[in-house]
Amino acid sequence: MPPSEHELRLRERLSRLKSLPLLGGAKLSGELERLQRQLERIAAEPTDEEIWRSVQLARHEQRPYTLDYAERLLDDWFELHGDRGLADDGAMVIGLGKLGGRTVTLVGQQKGRDIQERTRRQFGMPYPEGYRKAIRAFELAERLRTPVVSLVDTPGAYPGVAAEQHGQGGAIARSQAAMARLTVPTVACVIGEGGSGGAVAIALADRVLMQENAIYSVISPEGCAAILWRDAGQAQKAAAAFKPDARHCLELGVIDGIVPEPEGGAHTDHDEAARLLGESLREALDELDGVPGEELRRRRRARFRSLGVYA
Amino acid sequence: MAKIDVSIETNDLPAPPPKHPNTCPSCHSHYRDDELERSLWVCGHCGHHFAMRARDRIACLADPGSFVEEAADLHSEDPLGFFDLRPYTERLAEAEMSTGLADAIVIGQATLDGRQTELAVMDFAFMGGSMGSVVGEKLSRACDSAAERGVPLIAVTSSGGARMQEGILSLMQLPKTVCAVEDLHDAGQAMIVVMTHPTTAGVLASFASLGDVLLAEPGALIAFTGPRVVQQTTREKLPDDFGLAEQNLRFGHLDAIVPRPELRPTLSRLLRLLDAPQ
């Protein structure tokens, strides 16, 4: 992408300042530094093409899913099933395992690899039963005093008649509320698509991370384009406008860190992607070690309550 | 991935708007402004509940002269420099001009039949009642104000969901308001939610569903995903009352459907039961 007009203007000013004979001393060097920082920021800002590449990689068919990570990261991984009410939602996976020696409760959305599995798991879109299954896991973690690791990967909560009848909105709200009440350490990582309410339902955590090429957004690019441009084909434009990529989320304070992926994306090397994710998760849990439960909860709520921009 | 998730959006209403705002969309009766105001914006012929502006709602719930507005001067900013067909800042200015409100919610202290309460009332006329940073912040402050004064919070919702123009920050208003309600609950105070047409997507999936008592107005659409999007994505056949308050009551998601003329006496009874201070 060619440099923007703004960038060109800055570069021109910078070179002009640099070529001046030394006269202003400190004042001038301050100005130089400021311009240099602005330029670095522009260079670090993902371009529209890079944002779109993230959208594509986040949805890549070979991208590792929650179970791929569970098998690689957790010793003695034991999957639990069912919401103890009505169903076992395949789009939501819960279970226990050991991460670097400590038992953790894992909660994560799960897509499918082949068409049968995709159908069985509703393409990673949970029903209210899935969120009740997650709540069950959060309550289990609280009783067992294990940290919670949640892996977010959903295009959104399932948009269907039965899902509405079973209380989709309420289930998502109560799943967040259950996380807001926890007094054990919690780490969430968006590992693919973090699609709107269905994603944030399991992401109200002490530390929120995103993989380099994951996306986290209030609506899918296609949905946004359909509503605001009245044309789902404008998805790329929409993505550029609402910036769902990890770097923008970090800049807005929505996430605390970016988890690196193997060169070319997580799908190129599942083992390496898992190793990098495991490192970040352990680091985040180490940071939370020793903080009293009440304090964890107070800080977690304060963190989320501080999000927003207004005057 | 061909599926489109449009679960949070702002213009997901079942019926096209009527030709004139004072014409009943279900029976086509027409009313003068003063007639509608006297009937609390309920159609005298068929019982249809017209949309009600936040100020009018407050006037008919709060004891006369008791409402003290809070955080009235909070304004939205444009964190993303968002531009769709028009800049977000232009949409905000236009909404402020046409509604006389700073954003899609009004909060403040009030008494209702002498009992103290905190009111948080949304206004659909301001960008579809969409929840951005200001709505999230004001709802949170209403929770704090209720907790500090030891009074229940009454929230009247009317919203199409999160405000897309604020991107991921609008999604963050879901966990933000959930945390605020949890703080209110920890302080031992209750929240009564009155869901009016429409209460959908992000607002339903956050603070609105966490009320201790959930009421709704007749015929209100209360759904995470609206009927049009469900139909488009799943091609399922929709039941006639899909997503309406009546269906939600049947499936156990609401405590009661309260017609507008009975709302004030109902809230008064609940405040008595909750021992709201006088």
Mean per-residue pLDDT over chain A, rounded: 91
For residues B224-248, one letter each, b for 16 or more C-beta atoms within 10 angstroms of the residue's C-beta and e for the rest, the string is bbbbebbbebbeeeeeeebbbbbbb
Is residue B65 scored above 50 in pLDDT? yes
Between chains, do B5 and A227 touch, taking CB under 8 Å as contact?
no
Query: In Å, how far is B164's CA from the nearest CA of chain A?
Result: 7
Between chains, do B180 and A305 touch, taking CB under 8 Å as contact?
yes
> In terms of DSSP bridges, do strands A207-211 and A257-259 run parallel, antiparallel, or are they unpaired?
parallel
The residue in chain A having the minimum alpha-carbon distance to the alpha carbon of residue B132 is A308
pLDDT in tens, B119-147: 999 999 999 999 999 999 999 999 999 99
For residue B185, name the pLDDT band (cuts at 50, 70, 90): very high
Separation of alpha carbons B188 and B173, rounded Å? 23
Nearest CA to A207 out of A281, A268, A141, A260 is that of A281
Separation of alpha carbons B33 and B36, rounded Å? 5
pLDDT in tens, B206-264: 999 999 999 999 999 999 999 988 988 888 899 999 999 999 999 999 999 999 999 99
Assess A86–B contact: CB distance below 8 Å, yes or no.
no
Computed from CA positions of residues B168, B174, B179, B180, in that sequence, does the dihedral angle turn out positive or negative? positive
Nearest CA to A277 out of A218, A183, A213 is that of A213
pLDDT at B51: 96
Q: CA angle, corner A179, sides to A177 and A180, nearest 5?
A: 60
Region B33-40: mean pLDDT is 95
DSSP A96: E
pLDDT at A231: 82
For residues B13-41, one letter each, b for 16 or more C-beta atoms within 10 angstroms of the residue's C-beta and e for the rest, the string is bbeeeeeeeeebeeeeeebeeeebeeebb
Between chains, do A172 and B176 touch, taking CB under 8 Å as contact?
no
Is residue A24 scored above 90 in pLDDT? no
For residue B87, name the pLDDT band (cuts at 50, 70, 90): very high
Is residue A51 scored above 90 in pLDDT? yes
Taking one residue from A and the other from B, the number of pairs with CB-CB distance under 8 angstroms is 240
Q: Which DSSP string do the residues of A127-183 spell out, in sequence order?
A: -HHHHHHHHHHHHHHHHHT--EEEEEEES-S--SHHHHHTTHHHHHHHHHHHHHH--
pLDDT at A234: 87
CA dihedral A169, A171, A174, A178 (to 10 degrees): -140
pLDDT in tens, A203-257: 999 999 999 999 999 998 888 888 888 887 889 988 998 899 999 999 999 999 9
Q: Closest partner residue to A200 among B132, B174, B201, by Cβ? A: B174
What residues have CB less than 8 Å from A115, skipping those under 6 apart?
Answer: none
Between chains, do B210 and A300 touch, taking CB under 8 Å as contact?
no
| Phi-psi domain of A194 (left: phi exceeds 0; alpha: psi -120 through 50; beta: other) | beta
pLDDT in tens, A77-91: 999 999 999 999 999
Nearest CA to A207 out of A153, A149, A168, A271 is that of A149
The residue in chain A having the minimum alpha-carbon distance to the alpha carbon of residue B166 is A242
Nearest CA to A51 out of A108, A11, A1, A124 is that of A1
pLDDT in tens, A181-205: 999 999 999 999 999 999 999 999 9
For residue A16, name the pLDDT band (cuts at 50, 70, 90): low
Cβ-based burial of A290 (10 A; exposed 0-12, middle 13-18, buried ≥19): exposed
Query: Does residue A45 contact residue A4 with C-beta atoms inside 8 Å?
Result: no
Four-way CATH pick for B52-273: 3.90.226.10, 3.90.700.10, 1.25.40.10, 3.30.70.2340: 3.90.226.10
Q: Is the ipTM of this complex over 0.95?
A: no
Query: Does residue A189 contact residue A157 with C-beta atoms inside 8 Å?
Result: no
Separation of alpha carbons A97 and A147, rounded Å? 11
Residue A198: list chain B partners with CB under 8 A. Answer: 5, 7
* Residue B105 amino acid letter: I
Region B35-54: mean pLDDT is 96
From residue A309, give the alpha-carbon distance in Å to each of A4, A238, B122: 26, 21, 19
Separation of alpha carbons B155 and B195, rounded Å? 8
What residues have CB less than 8 Å from A24, skipping those under 6 apart?
Answer: none
3-state DSSP assignment of residue A193: strand
Helix, strand, coil percentages in chain A from 3-state DSSP, rounded to 5: 55, 15, 30
Between chains, do B175 and A228 touch, taking CB under 8 Å as contact?
no
3-state DSSP assignment of residue A39: helix
Is residue A268 scored above 70 in pLDDT? yes
pLDDT in tens, A160-179: 999 999 999 999 999 999 99
The residue in chain A having the minimum alpha-carbon distance to the alpha carbon of residue B78 is A309
Region B152-168: mean pLDDT is 96
Is residue B114 scored above 80 in pLDDT? yes
Region B4-13: mean pLDDT is 52
pTM as predicted: 0.90
pLDDT in tens, A134-149: 999 999 999 999 999 9
Separation of alpha carbons B236 and A45, rounded Å? 42
Is residue A5 scored above 80 in pLDDT? no
Separation of alpha carbons A49 and B244, rounded Å? 42
Helices B173-186 & B133-149 angle (0-180, nearest 10): 0
Assess A200–B contact: CB distance below 8 Å, yes or no.
yes
For residue A1, name the pLDDT band (cuts at 50, 70, 90): very low
3-state DSSP assignment of residue B246: helix
Query: Does residue A156 contact residue A199 with C-beta atoms inside 8 Å?
Result: yes
Query: Does residue A80 contact residue A137 with C-beta atoms inside 8 Å?
Result: yes
Q: Tell me which of B1 and A53 has the higher pLDDT.
A: A53
Query: Does residue B75 contact residue A308 with C-beta atoms inside 8 Å?
Result: no
Is residue A58 scored above 70 in pLDDT? yes
Query: Does residue B28 contact residue B15 with C-beta atoms inside 8 Å?
Result: no
Region A264-284: mean pLDDT is 97
What residues have CB less than 8 Å from B95, skipping those under 6 apart?
Answer: B101, B125, B126, B127
Separation of alpha carbons A8 and A31, rounded Å? 17
Query: In Å, how far is B38's CA from the nearest CA of chain A?
Result: 34
Q: Which DSSP string do the residues of B40-84 spell out, in sequence order?
A: TTB-TTT--B----HHHHHHHHSPTT--EEESTT--B--TT--BS
Is residue A8 scored above 90 in pLDDT? no
Is residue A30 scored above 70 in pLDDT? no
pLDDT at A23: 46
Token pair for B196: 């009016």
